[in-house]
């Protein structure tokens, strides 16, 4: 026992004891699943998960002939196209307005950040109810303003906007706070100099704030993009893909094909791989643009 302890107490050896747990866990639960996702996509895996039949590219061929999958890609694209630009630019403007450290701004930041502590389930319950066609407070308020009784959660063509809005509602506060942290690190002398030159707040924002926080902008853009392409939980708890699949995202569809009664793990994996390639392609593209700019 004593010898074992002595052996592992050498710094060059104890280092491995320190990293081992994380490496083992990451390999088991991140690296292997990623490799498996690629492997599984070439197999037909029945729900019993005892056998797997190699079927080549069949899953991919099926996916690109599956109207529900193609529709889910469209829904995801619409959602991403709405959510990301509004979130990334909107929260930047908000951040610029609340970046000074005073009581009012600190309070506002605390409020905007609040949705972070709400689970998707809580967000789903409150928004589903407040926009509910029979009990919703906002539905009633809008009706009393003469806008008619809008069925927010169950109108094809409209509900996808509502879901995008809820998603922005959930995380614009985090984005804004990340921007605020970045803006506060911009040297105050830059703003002072601009003030001397008579530049107004808006020109200061465009010519000093925005260029100074470029890396943060790219970080938020990339993470929001990847997040939006993987949207699942907000949809699951608000519409569950409805009405008529108009809000069914790719991950929603993958989830239902993997874990519901007509489970097909191989097919779900093939769709995951397609999604992974899309995410990676866009991320690499953005990374490239970012590096060119810097």
Binding to other proteins (CB under 8 A) within 5-44 occurs at 5, 8-12, 14-19, 21-23, 25-34, 36-37, 40
Q: Which of 34, 100, 89, 25 is nearest to 269 (CA)?
A: 34
- Length of the chain in terms of residues written: 294
Q: Are 59 and 270 in contact (CB under 8 A)?
A: yes
Q: What binding mask, one character per residue, do residues 177-206 give for other proteins by CB under 8 A, x or -?
A: xx-xx------------------xx-----
Peptide bond into 34 cis (omega under 30): no
236 binds other proteins (CB under 8 A): yes
88 binds other proteins (CB under 8 A): no
Span 265-284, contacts to other proteins by CB under 8 A: 265, 268-269, 272-273, 275-276, 279-280, 283
CB of 113 to other proteins, least distance (A): 7
Three-state SS string across 48-62, please? CCCCCEECCCHHHHH
Q: What binding mask, one character per residue, do residues 117-146 give for other proteins by CB under 8 A, x or -?
A: xxxxxx-xxxxxxx---xxxxx-x--xx--
Report CA torsion sign: 115, 118, 121, 127.
negative
CB of 67 to other proteins, least distance (A): 21
Among residues 36 and 285, whose Cβ is nearest to other proteins? Answer: 36
Q: Are 204 and 183 in contact (CB under 8 A)?
A: no
Cα–Cα distances (Å) from 161 to 38, 145, 153, 249, in that order, read 33, 21, 10, 13
Among residues 27 and 61, whose Cβ is nearest to other proteins? Answer: 27
């Amino acid at each position: 026992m004593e010898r074992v302890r002595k052996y592992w107490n050498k710094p060059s050896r104890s280092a491995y004891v320190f990293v081992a747990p994380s490496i083992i866990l990451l390999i088991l639960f991140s690296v292997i699943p990623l490799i498996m996702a690629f492997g599984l996509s070439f197999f037909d895996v029945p729900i019993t998960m005892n056998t797997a039949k190699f079927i080549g590219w069949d899953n991919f061929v099926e996916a690109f002939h599956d109207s529900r999958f193609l529709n889910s890609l469209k829904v995801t694209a619409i959602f991403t196209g709405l959510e990301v630009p509004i979130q990334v630019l909107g929260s930047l403007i908000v951040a610029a307005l609340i970046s000074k450290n005073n009581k009012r701004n600190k309070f506002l930041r605390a409020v905007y950040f609040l949705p972070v502590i709400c689970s998707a389930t809580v967000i789903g319950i409150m928004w589903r109810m407040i926009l509910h066609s029979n009990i919703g407070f906002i539905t009633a308020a809008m009706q009393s303003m003469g806008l008619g009784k809008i069925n927010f959660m169950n109108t094809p063509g409209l509900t996808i906007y509502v879901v995008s809005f809820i998603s922005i509602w959930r995380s614009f506060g985090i984005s804004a706070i990340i921007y605020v942290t970045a803006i506060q690190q911009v040297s105050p002398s830059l703003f002072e100099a601009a003030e001397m030159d008579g530049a107004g707040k808006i020109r200061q924002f465009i010519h000093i704030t925005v260029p100074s926080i470029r890396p943060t902008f790219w970080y938020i853009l990339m993470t929001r993009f990847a997040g939006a392409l993987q949207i699942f939980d907000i949809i699951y708890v608000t519409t569950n893909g409805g009405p008529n699949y108009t809000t069914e995202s790719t991950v929603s569809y993958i989830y239902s094909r993997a874990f519901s009664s007509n489970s097909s793990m191989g097919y779900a994996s093939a769709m995951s791989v397609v999604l992974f390639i899309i995410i990676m392609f866009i991320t690499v593209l953005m990374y490239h643009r970012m590096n060119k700019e810097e």
